[in-house]
Structure 1
Amino acid sequence: MTHGIHHVTAIAGPARRNLDFYTRVLGQRLVKKTVNFDDPGTYHFYFGDTVGRPGTILTFFPWANVAPGRLGLGETQETAYRIPARSLGWWTQRFIEAGVPHEAPEKRFGETVLPFRDPDGMRLALVAVPGAEAEPAWDGSEVPAEHALRGFHGVTLLLDRSEPTAAILTDVLGFEAGGQEGNLTRTIAPGAVQGGIVDLKAVGGFLPARPGGGSVHHVAFRAADDAEQEAMVARLAENHGIRTTEQRDRNYFRSVYFREPGGVLFEIATDQPGFAVDEPVDALGTALKLPAGLERQRTRIEAVLPDLTPEAV
């Protein structure tokens, strides 16, 4: 069984701006266009590769007038994508031409990392990975396929202490210890190409995070199916005294949620059934998809959702 990150969900500002940045500037596929099941007047976008494989999906709740978040303890500090090593210069030039805020490349664990931010200030990075050009990528955008993002490299969590969170990752979620560099503790999911790294950054004494635009809402981890998810839930309760929510059907996966000891909201999501369950692969992301319980409200929901036409920017 392959473990690792299933998806990352964040909070954004205006929907059209978010859609444009991730599909045009970063060249991701809009894999699914649905609504926040708990707030159906808001979109829920899923961006990823051709089929939306686990480990490639970044999702957003876009609220037009959301206040900016404040980075702090108990939050994802950075979400990093894999790119081919030879594509680093291409992406640097693209960020300059597109006016994307970015920093100078730096080294972490021997890898070259290019930090940047999206229009809401969300902290992102590109990691130059030798051989990543052989990995699958979405080739339907203006980003040439040879330079396209190859899914997640991993995430960095900002914590008071790293040890309690590391214990959950290694005992419950299928990760292993992967080394130490300064105040960064690396954990690795064996066998995972996409989404196989979680770095824990211990910075005791920081203020807690305040959610808002540019903040990561939660990080979801992979379970192959309901049985594996159930086993993870049992281990979490028995070994760590942490209980999850009841299972919730998100149409494309089934989820449970919990706060890990450092305060970050974690989700365990099943790989099944995937994003092609309600539309064919070649049409992913083209229609507004609603859960069965909201379908009868479609006309009202469509009337209040933000306009996504380019003129609405």
Structure 2
Amino acid sequence: MQINGIHHVTAISGPARRNLDFYGRVLGLRLVKKTVNFDDPGTYHLYYGDVAGAPGTILTFFPWEHAAPGRLGVGETQETVFRVPEGAIGYWAHRFIEHAVPHDVPVKRFGESVLAFRDPDGMRLALVGLPGIEREAAWDGGDVPAENAIRGFHSVSLLLEDAAPTAAILGDVLGFKEIGREDTLIRYRAEGAALRIAGLGTIVDLRVAGGFLPARQGAGSVHHVAFRAADDAAQEDMVRRLAENHGIRATEQRDRNYFRSVYFREPGRVLFEIATDAPGFAVDEPAATLGQALKLPAGLEAQRARIEALLPELG
């Protein structure tokens, strides 16, 4: 059975230690995998998520020590949004003041309370307060009490010159359907999510902003958004529809150890990935100790000593 929605979001950051301090300590996310960028093994690839690293909760980073700042523009993810219990918005506003996190006043968006903020690299993030999700399990191994903890993704918003071509891919290939419009936002929800409106990563918002400068990737930029495929067969079917119905060819499948991926540029120029749910993050270490040891793919294991010498201490 196909399960539609966001699998993970991958972004670029500055220093790794600062990134870990913000996402692990200030936001209270669990570091579920400490590995390296398979294409640039001299830098980390850090994965944050819930207690199990479930699809729909994973925010990952390529932290480059001296990365130049990115510039937000069309063809990029504008905002990455997390879910928190409805009553926790006040807690988070106070926490952001305590930790000097730049943030806006809460606003209503599609009837939900939204608290926007930025990380140390200027990445645009937000929290959405949702009723009923306080009953969901939450990671309580950090500084944030479980009753206020983040519970995976709510949505991403994409900044586009024209929404229609991207909407066609969301609908036909990735399993989303338009459910509403508000100001310059067009909201899409993963099909099959009608009875789980607050489900993990089931929302994509398209923001039309004609005439803006194109995005420039750098620290604070989202590199790509990954969407879920239940297994290889589901992924293959999505790739086939992408080519046959839209004339877009994805890359060959790449094994990322914890999921298998294909990539493509959607018509609005945002880099999309389709990632399998399997095998998950417990494939190479026990669930109880996720994120504690540096994990390398088999092809890089012989270079462990050299790689470890290049990587900065995380403390």
TM-score > 0.5, shorter chain as reference: yes
Whether 1:266 and 2:267 are equivalent positions in the alignment is no
1:54 aligns with 55
Aligned-residue offset at 1:133: 0.4
Match of 1:215 among 205, 216, 221: 221
What's the secondary structure of 1:296's corresponding residue?
helix
Q: Which runs of 5+ in 2 are unaligned?
A: none
The match for 1:129 is 130
Q: 2:202 aligns with which of 186, 196, 205?
A: 196
After superposition, the C-alpha distances for 1:12-32 in whole angstroms (9 at most, x for unaligned) are 000000001000000000000
Tell me the SS of whatever aligns to 2:216. Answer: coil
Q: Which runs of 5+ in 1 are unaligned?
A: none
Q: Deviations over 1:158-215 (max 9, x none)?
A: 0001111111001000111111111111000132611000000000110100000000
2:281 to 265, 275, 281: 275
Give the percent of matched residue pairs that are identical in Structure 1 and Structure 2. 73
Q: Aligned partners of 2:225 and 2:137: how far apart in 1?
A: 23
- The AA in structure 1 aligned to 2:67 is V
TM-superposed CA distance for 1:236, in Å, is 0.3
Q: How does 1:22-33 map to 2 (within 5 A)?
A: 22-33=23-34
- Which secondary structure does the structure 2 equivalent of 1:194 belong to? coil
Matching residue within 221, 234, 244 for 2:240: 234
Structure 2 counterpart of 1:213, one-letter code: A
Q: Is 1:153 aligned with 2:159?
A: no
Aligned partners of 2:181 and 2:89: how far apart in 1?
25
**For residues 242-257 of structure 1, what are the structure 2 equivalents within 5 Å?**
242-257=248-263
**Separation in structure 2 between the aligned mates of residue 92 and residue 219 of structure 1, nearest angstrom:** 27
Q: In structure 1, how many angstroms separate the alpha carbons of the residues matched to 2:156 and 2:252?
A: 25
3-state SS of 2:243 partner: helix
Q: How many corresponding residue pairs?
A: 309
TM-score norm. by structure 2 comes to 0.97
Deviation at 1:139, TM superposition (A): 1.3
Question: In structure 2, what is the equivalent of residue 305 of structure 1?
Answer: 311
Deviations 1:105-156 (A, max 9, x none): 1111111100000000000000010111012211111100000001000000
Q: Which residue of 2 aligns with 1:63?
A: 64
Q: What SS does the aligned partner of 1:59 have?
A: strand
Give the match for residue 206 of structure 1.
212
2:293 match: secondary structure: coil
Q: Does 1:285 align with 2:291?
A: yes
For 1:156-195, what aligned pairs fall within 5 Å after superposition?
Answer: 156-189=157-190, 190-191=192-193, 193-195=199-201
Give the match for residue 88 of structure 2: 87
CA distance in 2, matches of 1:178, 1:278: 40
Matches within 5 A, 1:88-107: 88-107=89-108
Task: Work out the CA distance in 1 between the residues paired with 2:7 and 2:260.
Answer: 11
**Secondary structure of 2:98 counterpart:** helix
> 2:234 corresponds to which letter in structure 1?
E
Q: How big is each residue's C-alpha offset from its partner over 1:260-290, in whole Å with a ceiling of 9 and x where there is no partner?
A: 0000000000000000000010010000000
1:58 Cα deviation from its structure 2 partner = 0.1
RMSD between aligned residues: 0.6
* Matched residue type, 1:3: N
CA distance in 2, matches of 1:87, 1:204: 35
4+ long deviations beyond 2 Å: none
CA distance in 1, matches of 2:168, 2:45: 31
- Distance in 1 (alpha carbons) for counterparts of 2:287 and 2:182: 41
The 2-side partners of 1:136 and 1:198 are apart by 24
Distance 2:312 2:167 in 1: 40
Equivalent position amino acid for 2:134 in 1: E
DSSP 3-state at the match of 2:87 = helix
- In 2, distance between residues paired with 1:56 and 1:132? 14
Distance 2:171 2:260 in 1: 22
Alignment correspondent of 2:231: 225
**Counterpart-to-counterpart distance in 1, 2:203 and 2:284:** 30
Amino acid at match of 2:70: G
Q: Separation in 1 of the partners of 2:108 and 2:90?
A: 15
Give SS of 1:90's match. Answer: helix
Q: CA offset at residue 71 of structure 1?
A: 0.1
